[in-house]
Amino acid sequence: MLLQELFDPDSVMIIGASRDRVKVGNAVLRNIMDYKGRIVPINPSAEDVEGIRAYHSVLESPGAELVINCIPVKSTIEAIDEAGRKGAKAAIVVSAGFREIGSEGAKFEKELVATCSKYSIKLLGPNCLGMINTATPLNASFAASMPPKGKMAFISQSGAICTAILDWALMENVGFSKFLSLGNKAGIDEAELLLALEDDPETSVILIYTEGIADGSDFTKVAAEVTKKKPVILVKSGVTAAGARAISSHTGALAGSDAAYQAAFEKAGIIRAETLDQLFDLASVFSTQTPPMGDRTVIITNAGGPGILTADACEKFGLPLADISADLVEKLKEKLPPMASLHNPIDLIGDATAERYGTALDILLDDPSSSIALVLLTPQAMTEVERTAELIIEAKKKHAEKPIAAVFMGGEMVSKARKMLHEGGVPSFPYPEPAVYSLKKLVEYAEWVKRPVPVLEPKPSVDSKGAKAIVAQATSQGKKTVLSTEAKTIANLYGISTPPGGMATTPEEAGGIAKKIGFPVVLSVYSPTILHKTDVGGVKVGLSTEQEVQNGFREIWYNVTRLMPNAEIYGIEVYKMVPQGKEIIVGATHDPQFGKIVMFGLGGVYANFLKDVSFGLAPLTSAEALGMIQKTKAYVLLRGVRGEKASDVGSLVDVLVRASYLVTDIPEILDLDINPLFVYEQGKGCTAVDVKMTLA
Q: Is 168 in the site for a copy of itself (CB under 8 A)?
A: yes
Q: Which of 533, 503, 528 is nearest to 517 (CA)?
A: 503
Q: Which residues contact 34 (CB under 8 A, 6 or more apart)?
A: 137, 138, 139, 146
Q: Toward a copy of itself, which CB reaches closer, 99 or 402?
A: 99
Q: Toward a copy of itself, which CB reaches closer, 439 or 474?
A: 439
Site for a copy of itself in 291-330 (CB under 8 A): 302-306, 308-309, 311-313, 315-316
Site for a copy of itself in 538-597 (CB under 8 A): none
- Give CA separation, 157 vs 188, 281, 287, 374, in Å: 11, 20, 22, 34
Phi then psi for residue 275, to 5 deg, are -140, 165
Residues for the chain: how many in total?
696
Site for a copy of itself in 41-100 (CB under 8 A): none
Q: Toward a copy of itself, which CB reaches closer, 33 or 382?
A: 382
Identified binder of a copy of itself from the candidate list 46, 106, 113, 239, rule CB under 8 A: 239
- Give CA separation, 236 vs 107, 190, 440, 448, in Å: 28, 12, 20, 20
CB of 180 to a copy of itself, least distance (A): 14
CB of 393 to a copy of itself, least distance (A): 21
Cis peptide before 667 (omega within 30 of 0): no
CB of 657 to a copy of itself, least distance (A): 25
CB of 379 to a copy of itself, least distance (A): 6
Identified binder of a copy of itself from the candidate list 16, 130, 159, 183, rule CB under 8 A: 159
CA-based torsion, 245, 251, 257, 262: positive or negative: negative
Q: Toward a copy of itself, which CB reaches closer, 299 or 365?
A: 299
Q: Is 357 in the site for a copy of itself (CB under 8 A)?
A: no
Site for a copy of itself in 598-657 (CB under 8 A): 605-606, 608-610, 633, 636-637, 641-644
Q: Give yes or no for a contact between 311 and 297, defined as CB atoms under 8 angstroms apart.
A: no
Q: Is 253 in the site for a copy of itself (CB under 8 A)?
A: no
Identified binder of a copy of itself from the candidate list 35, 55, 142, 494, rule CB under 8 A: 142
Site for a copy of itself in 369-398 (CB under 8 A): 378-381
Q: Is 277 in the site for a copy of itself (CB under 8 A)?
A: yes
Identified binder of a copy of itself from the candidate list 57, 290, 415, 505, rule CB under 8 A: 415
Q: Toward a copy of itself, which CB reaches closer, 166 or 513?
A: 166
Q: Is 20 in the site for a copy of itself (CB under 8 A)?
A: no
Other Cβ atoms less than 10 A from the Cβ of 642: the count is 4
**Cβ-based burial of 442 (10 A; exposed 0-12, middle 13-18, buried ≥19):** buried
Site for a copy of itself in 459-488 (CB under 8 A): none
Q: Give yes or no for a contact between 403 and 425, defined as CB atoms under 8 angstroms apart.
A: no
Name the DSSP class of 691: E
Please tell me the distance from the alpha carbon of residue 163 to that of residue 181, in angstroms, as a whole number: 10
Number of residues that bind a copy of itself (CB under 8 A): 75
Q: Toward a copy of itself, which CB reaches closer, 237 or 248?
A: 237
Q: Is 237 in the site for a copy of itself (CB under 8 A)?
A: yes
Type of residue numbered 529? T
Q: Give yes or no for a contact between 365 and 394, defined as CB atoms under 8 angstroms apart.
A: no
| CA 477 remoteness from chain centre | 39
Q: Is 244 in the site for a copy of itself (CB under 8 A)?
A: no
Q: Is 444 in the site for a copy of itself (CB under 8 A)?
A: no
**Segment contacting a copy of itself (CB under 8 A): 28-36, 408-416, 584-592, 685-693?**
408-416
Site for a copy of itself in 501-520 (CB under 8 A): none
What DSSP element (H or E) covers 614? strand 613-617
Q: Is 4 in the site for a copy of itself (CB under 8 A)?
A: no
Please tell me the distance from the alpha carbon of residue 119 to that of residue 86, in angstroms, as a whole number: 10
Please tell me the distance from the alpha carbon of residue 258 to that of residue 226, in angstroms, as a whole number: 22
Q: Is 431 in the site for a copy of itself (CB under 8 A)?
A: yes
**Segment contacting a copy of itself (CB under 8 A): 86-94, 103-111, 403-411, 504-512?**
403-411
Please tell me the distance from the alpha carbon of residue 335 to that of residue 323, in angstroms, as a whole number: 19
